[in-house]
Chain A
Amino acid sequence: MKEYELFIGPQHPGVTGNMMYHLWVDGDIVTKAECNVGYLHRGFEKLMESRGWMQNVPLVCRICVPEPDVNEMAYAMAVEQLMDWEVPDRASYIRVIVLELARIAAYLMSIGSYAGSLGIYTLPQWTLGDRDYILDIFEQLTGARVYHIYIWPGGVRWDMPEGLPDLIEKTLSYIEKRLKLYDDVFFRNRVFFDRAAGIGKIPKNRAIEWGVTGPNLRACGYGYDVRKLEPYAAYGDMDFEVVKYPELGDFEVISDGCDAYTRIVVRRLEIDQSISMVRQALKKMPEGEHILKHPNWLKWKAPAGYAFSRVESSKGEYGYFVVSDGSSKPVRIHVRGPSYTHGINVAETILKGANIADVSQILFSLDVCPPDIER
């Protein structure tokens, strides 16, 4: 049979944003895949070198659009390492609340768009509508819906307004109620079982070597989570169990793991986990300062050295490598986005042998987000 070439993207609803896959296809089966990125390359790392430490905060959050707060957190942590700052306790708890709410919002979006790729259009309508209620919380807390610029080196920008804990609790119980509906419509749906089980398998013994992280790694049966391995913010005080295959709670284990089905179910279970963590943080949050006393924002200099910080996002592990030579501008900031490995090497390898109809759901189940590949 003759091979033919297929270009998916950048203008295509089946790829996860502005990126392109070049597929070689034999009949319905993909024989080779090549990823083409760079459509969103803004040269962040170059721009950050010409701006001061504080001026970089608004740039940093634009690296991951669905979940910007992890970037602010990772950058703030790296700068705090260089400056040798201790963040006030209250700020750490507020950070946990913000990060977990952002994680719920990002998971709702990724599950919704995954369901859309299977043709179940009810779920995106619901999840994206419900995600908006979380954005409303952010609006009250930070003043912005998408890019918050709230987590700063040294703490958070301002304290939590009065009455916000009640709104958060109200929203969380609403989302819990809605999650039951999602389960009926999608997670116990025959279409989902039949389409997703056994599709897009990452070989378990090579997952770590390939740089798979986050929910995708936990779906392979490794219980690794940066929040547990290297607790940052107030995650050390939180009580949670890492979700991993084959402990899928109420959900059926219908495959050997590592596939699209398990990846999505792990994400669904982590929404429950995040909800419980926000509640714990609200309960345990101490009184006190929310930010450190700073030197002049525009003039301060970071001591020379190398700092590295890692944060768990909804897509995987974020790493910030920050180099300073003791001046008021960084020498180099390098961002490790989780999609860098998932979207390029892992996707290129596991798309081989997949059916064309499954290409889109494999990409959505990996939750590839091009802005953090290209920066």
Chain B
Amino acid sequence: MGLFDGDIMKYEDWNKISRIASRKSLWMVHFCTGCGAIELPPVMTSRYDMERFGMGPMATPRQADVLLITGYLTVKTLKRVVNVYEQMQSPKYVISFGSCPINGGMYWDSYNTVKRLDRYLPVDVYVGGCMPRPEGVMNAFLELMKLIDEGKARGWEKYQKYYEQYKRNQKMAFNFEREKDEGA
């Protein structure tokens, strides 16, 4: 009795295998959305070296698995981030980086940064702090791998299921005019 019992592999079994495979080679999109990007080069290069976890930067979103939101997100960047996220192939994961995407951080009263990232994109792992240390970043990667292994990193499925709600929120953030008209 094993995985290959019968002609066709069971969907659940296949899912498990694909999860084990994908967690060992996570590639992240090379997109510096905010100031947290300054702690990524140390993580990528010789001192912390994330390649030992099978992670590496990837220039095109179509071949990447992880999107890192490195710090605050302005409305203008959010548009591009949504574009990038929708180009990525499933399964895809989002790591939010720093305090700003959690609740606005020190830009809580800024007119141009979105305050809570999870209203626009599904987030799998949060890393707190400003800046999070490279060890924190590495820990987030390990946490993400654990979640993938357990089948709990389901942000992308959530995005598909509640697509309309996410789109509505994104549009509300992009279109200031609509807000203004309603208020008037």
Using a CB–CB cutoff of 8 Å, the interface residues on chain A facing chain B are: 10-13, 17-18, 38-43, 46-47, 50, 58-59, 62, 65-66, 109, 112-113, 124-126, 128-129, 131-132, 135, 144-147, 371
B167 contacts partner chain A, Cβ-Cβ < 8 Å: no
B80 contacts partner chain A, Cβ-Cβ < 8 Å: yes
CA–CA, A135 and B131, complex, Å: 13
B29 touches A11 (CB 8 A): yes
A40 touches B77 (CB 8 A): yes
A13 touches B59 (CB 8 A): yes
* Chain B residue, CB-CB nearest to A19: B32
14 A–B contacts, CB within 8 A, in A order: A10-B77, A11-B80, A12-B59, A18-B33, A18-B37, A39-B74, A40-B74, A50-B109, A65-B37, A109-B41, A124-B41, A125-B45, A146-B38, A371-B35
B99 contacts partner chain A, Cβ-Cβ < 8 Å: no
B130 contacts partner chain A, Cβ-Cβ < 8 Å: yes
Measured CB to CB, the closest approach of chain B to A357, in angstroms, equals 15
Interface size class of B (residues with CB under 8 A): 35 or more
Binary interface encoding of chain B residues 21-35 relative to chain A, with 1 for a CB under 8 A from any of its CBs, else 0 = 000000001111111
- A132: B residues at CB distance < 8 A: 42, 47
Cβ 8 A contact of A11, one of B31, B44, B109, B113? B31
Given A17-B32, A18-B32, A145-B133, A42:B110 Cβ within 8 A: yes
A39 touches B110 (CB 8 A): no
Given A42-B110, A124-B41, A65:B35 Cβ within 8 A: yes
B76 touches A47 (CB 8 A): no
CA–CA, A124 and B130, complex, Å: 24
- B76: A residues at CB distance < 8 A: 38-39, 41
Given A43-B112, A65-B35, A128:B74 Cβ within 8 A: no
B111 contacts partner chain A, Cβ-Cβ < 8 Å: yes
B74 touches A38 (CB 8 A): yes
- A50: B residues at CB distance < 8 A: 109
* Chain B residue, CB-CB nearest to A121: B45
Cβ 8 A contact of A42, one of B30, B32, B33, B72? B72
- B37: A residues at CB distance < 8 A: 17-18, 65
B155 contacts partner chain A, Cβ-Cβ < 8 Å: no
CA–CA, A66 and B38, complex, Å: 7
Given A62-B35, A147-B131, A47:B30 Cβ within 8 A: no
Cβ 8 A contact of B110, one of A43, A58, A113? A43
Measured CB to CB, the closest approach of chain B to A361, in angstroms, equals 16
Q: Considering the complex of A and B, which 5 residue pairs feature the smallest CB-CB distances, nearest first?
A: A129-B46, A128-B45, A11-B31, A65-B35, A39-B77
* Chain B residue, CB-CB nearest to A132: B47
* Chain B residue, CB-CB nearest to A116: B41
B111 touches A11 (CB 8 A): no
A18 touches B41 (CB 8 A): no
A41 touches B80 (CB 8 A): no
* Chain A residue, CB-CB nearest to B87: A11
- B131: A residues at CB distance < 8 A: 144-147
Measured CB to CB, the closest approach of chain B to A336, in angstroms, equals 19
CA–CA, A200 and B64, complex, Å: 33
Residues 54-110 of B at the A interface (beta carbon under 8 Å) = 57, 59, 61, 72, 74, 76-77, 80, 84, 106-107, 109-110
A129 touches B74 (CB 8 A): no
B39 contacts partner chain A, Cβ-Cβ < 8 Å: yes
CA–CA, A290 and B16, complex, Å: 60
CA–CA, A325 and B79, complex, Å: 39
* Chain A residue, CB-CB nearest to B35: A65
CA–CA, A131 and B41, complex, Å: 10
A13 touches B30 (CB 8 A): yes
Given A124-B41, A125-B45, A126-B46, A11:B72 Cβ within 8 A: no
Cβ 8 A contact of B106, one of A38, A46, A58, A112? A58
A47 touches B109 (CB 8 A): yes
CA–CA, A11 and B113, complex, Å: 18
CA–CA, A39 and B32, complex, Å: 10
Measured CB to CB, the closest approach of chain B to A341, in angstroms, equals 22
A13 touches B57 (CB 8 A): yes
B45 touches A146 (CB 8 A): no
* Chain A residue, CB-CB nearest to B44: A128
- B42: A residues at CB distance < 8 A: 128-129, 131-132, 135
CA–CA, A113 and B59, complex, Å: 15
Inter-chain pairs besides A42-B107, A62-B35, A124-B41, 8 sampled, C-beta below 8 Å: A11-B31, A17-B37, A18-B32, A38-B76, A39-B80, A42-B113, A65-B37, A65-B38
- B106: A residues at CB distance < 8 A: 58-59, 62
Measured CB to CB, the closest approach of chain B to A237, in angstroms, equals 32
